[in-house]
């Protein structure tokens, strides 16, 4: 096992500690002074940066359900080595989003109310339940990794008995609330700019989360495989890139067809505050990476994939922030810019996420050894389909 992330002070480690400290201090300020004193949120702009960050976190956590579905439901077993990193990503993502939501709530002490006080008509109610249930499913998908570390095989077996329904439920819950984040805005046609408002918001949110989730997986394997050449072969990574490209293409078609149908393409004729934001998100995050990923040279090189996936994730982030913030602004009369404390809390929580991933993956068997994987899946190395990808001498 390699030395852990913090066994020596790295630049990234120092930055993480700094951001987490600042974030924690800001969070204390937020709880003692209230939202008004610490954020730029107002009656006219009651949702801001944190909601956008929630969308972003949940979108990246789509890595979890897409890969679990691919491997365990569609039996794309070649991708087995990345299931655990993907589940860890999703698990951390969801826990952090819950944390942000609790910080964002005016009454964090009432966070449990939706469990007992029901309003099934509310999208927020549905999201709360989906997030709670899916985080539970994720903890069950994650539990075997912890149990394995401590050699507790009996409960692992017990969990495996129920794993198929759990995984199906997990995929369904993800589908529901990934799209529901879009549904949150269905009720504000009078406020959300027509470049973003659409009756198809839930559909668009779902398609784009697949592009971002798979991009996140590709990016992770690119970063992680520097030290673990067996993680995923370049060929399989290129296949994931193709899936991303398909998701991007479907998204572009649905988005532009919808815009044409609603007659808002004219909005793109002039460069305004909103159309500039739209061009940024659609070109950087969808159009350009889609074109890039058409080239085998991009799909098959680390450099190319780095570029394309970072673009997808940037554009995805821009899309969610535009929906949550830019699209709700009326330029220049009603605008919002987050306060320093809002930004610090967001950065602190992001730093918690990266640190947690780094620490957990160095202490728990996230990157299963070849033997452990065979023992778990009950296969022998001479079966052709279970062969791990060839180690690639790269990076």
Q: How far is the CB of 373 from other proteins (least distance, A)?
A: 14
Q: For residue 341, give the H/E element and its range.
A: helix 340-363
Q: Are 39 and 340 in contact (CB under 8 A)?
A: no
Q: How far is the CB of 228 from other proteins (least distance, A)?
A: 26
Question: Is 161 a residue that touches other proteins (CB under 8 A)?
Answer: no
Q: Are 310 and 219 in contact (CB under 8 A)?
A: yes
Q: How far is the CB of 394 from other proteins (least distance, A)?
A: 30
Q: Report the distance separating Cα 213 and Cα 154, nearest Å.
A: 32
Q: Are 211 and 178 in contact (CB under 8 A)?
A: no
Q: Report the distance separating Cα 78 and Cα 121, nearest Å.
A: 42
DSSP string, 84-102: HHHHHHHHHHHHHHHHHHH
Return the number of the residue (99 or 360) whose C-beta is nearest other proteins: 99
Local structure of residue 231 (DSSP, 8 states): S
DSSP string, 59-81: HHTHHHHHHHIIIIIS--GGGGG
Distances (CA, A) of 345 to 24, 50, 296: 7, 9, 40
Question: Is 370 a residue that touches other proteins (CB under 8 A)?
Answer: no
User: Among 6, 29, 114, 360, which residue interacts with other proteins (rule: CB under 8 A)?
Assistant: 114
Which residues, 6 or more positions from 153, have their beta carbon under 8 angstroms from its beta carbon? 147
User: Could you tell me which stretch among 12-20, 213-221, 347-355, 378-386 binds other proteins (CB under 8 A)?
Assistant: 378-386
User: Could you tell me which stretch among 67-75, 134-142, 250-258, 291-299 binds other proteins (CB under 8 A)?
Assistant: 67-75
Q: Are 169 and 119 in contact (CB under 8 A)?
A: no
Question: Is 261 a residue that touches other proteins (CB under 8 A)?
Answer: no
Question: Is 333 a residue that touches other proteins (CB under 8 A)?
Answer: no
Question: Is 183 a residue that touches other proteins (CB under 8 A)?
Answer: yes
Question: Is 168 a residue that touches other proteins (CB under 8 A)?
Answer: yes
> How many alpha carbons lie under 13 Å from residue 78 in its C-beta half-sphere?
14
Q: How far is the CB of 38 from other proteins (least distance, A)?
A: 10
| Longest distance between any two alpha carbons in the chain, whole Å | 68
Question: Is 306 a residue that touches other proteins (CB under 8 A)?
Answer: no
Return the number of the residue (128 or 355) whose C-beta is nearest other proteins: 128
Question: Is 381 a residue that touches other proteins (CB under 8 A)?
Answer: no
Q: How far is the CB of 31 from other proteins (least distance, A)?
A: 7
Q: Report the distance separating Cα 5 and Cα 12, nearest Å.
A: 9
Take residue 158 and report the two structure tokens written for it: 């017990």
Q: How far is the CB of 2 from other proteins (least distance, A)?
A: 32
User: Could you tell me which stretch among 5-13, 176-184, 284-292, 304-312 binds other proteins (CB under 8 A)?
Assistant: 176-184
User: Could you tell me which stretch among 65-73, 91-99, 210-218, 335-343 binds other proteins (CB under 8 A)?
Assistant: 65-73
Return the number of the residue (186 or 224) whose C-beta is nearest other proteins: 186
Binding site for other proteins (CB under 8 A): 31-37, 41-44, 46-47, 69, 72-75, 77, 104-108, 110-111, 113-114, 117-119, 121-126, 128, 164, 168, 171-172, 175-176, 179, 183-184, 186-191, 199, 202, 378-380, 382-385
């Amino acid at each position: 096992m390699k030395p852990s992330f913090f066994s020596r002070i790295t630049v990234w480690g120092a930055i993480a500690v700094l951001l987490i400290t600042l974030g924690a201090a800001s969070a204390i300020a937020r709880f003692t002074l209230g939202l008004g004193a610490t954020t730029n949120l107002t009656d006219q702009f009651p949702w801001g940066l944190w909601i956008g960050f929630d969308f972003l976190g949940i979108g990246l956590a789509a890595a979890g359900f897409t890969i679990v579905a691919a491997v365990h439901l569609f039996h794309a077993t070649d991708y087995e080595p990345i299931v655990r990193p993907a589940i860890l990503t999703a698990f951390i993502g969801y826990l952090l989003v819950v944390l942000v939501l609790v910080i964002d709530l005016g009454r964090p002490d009432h966070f449990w109310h939706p469990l007992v006080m029901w309003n099934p008509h509310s999208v927020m109610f549905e999201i709360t339940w989906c997030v709670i249930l899916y985080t539970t499913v994720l903890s069950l998908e994650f539990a075997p990794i912890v149990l394995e570390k401590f050699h507790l095989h009996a409960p692992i077996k017990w969990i495996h008995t129920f794993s198929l329904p759990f995984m199906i439920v997990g995929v369904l819950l993800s589908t529901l609330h990934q799209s529901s984040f879009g549904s949150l805005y269905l009720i504000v046609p009078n406020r959300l700019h027509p470049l973003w408002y659409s009756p198809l918001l839930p559909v668009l949110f779902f398609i784009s989360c697949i592009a971002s989730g798979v991009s996140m997986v590709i990016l992770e394997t690119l970063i992680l495989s520097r030290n673990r050449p067996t993680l995923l072969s370049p060929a399989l990574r290129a296949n994931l890139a193709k899936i991303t490209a398909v998701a991007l293409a479907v998204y572009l078609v649905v988005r532009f067809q919808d815009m044409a149908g609603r007659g808002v393409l004219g909005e793109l004729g002039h460069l305004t505050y909103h159309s500039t934001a739209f061009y940024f998100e659609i070109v950087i995050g969808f159009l350009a990476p889609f074109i890039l990923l058409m080239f085998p040279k991009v799909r098959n090189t680390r450099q190319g994939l780095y570029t394309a996936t970072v673009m997808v994730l940037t554009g995805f982030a821009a899309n969610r922030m535009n929906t949550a913030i830019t699209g709700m602004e009326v330029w220049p009369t009603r605008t919002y810019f987050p306060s320093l404390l809002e930004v610090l809390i967001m950065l602190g929580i992001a730093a918690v996420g990266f640190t947690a991933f780094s620490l957990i993956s160095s202490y728990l068997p996230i990157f299963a050894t070849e033997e452990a994987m065979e023992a778990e899946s009950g296969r022998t190395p001479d079966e052709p389909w279970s062969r791990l990808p060839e180690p690639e001498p790269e990076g």
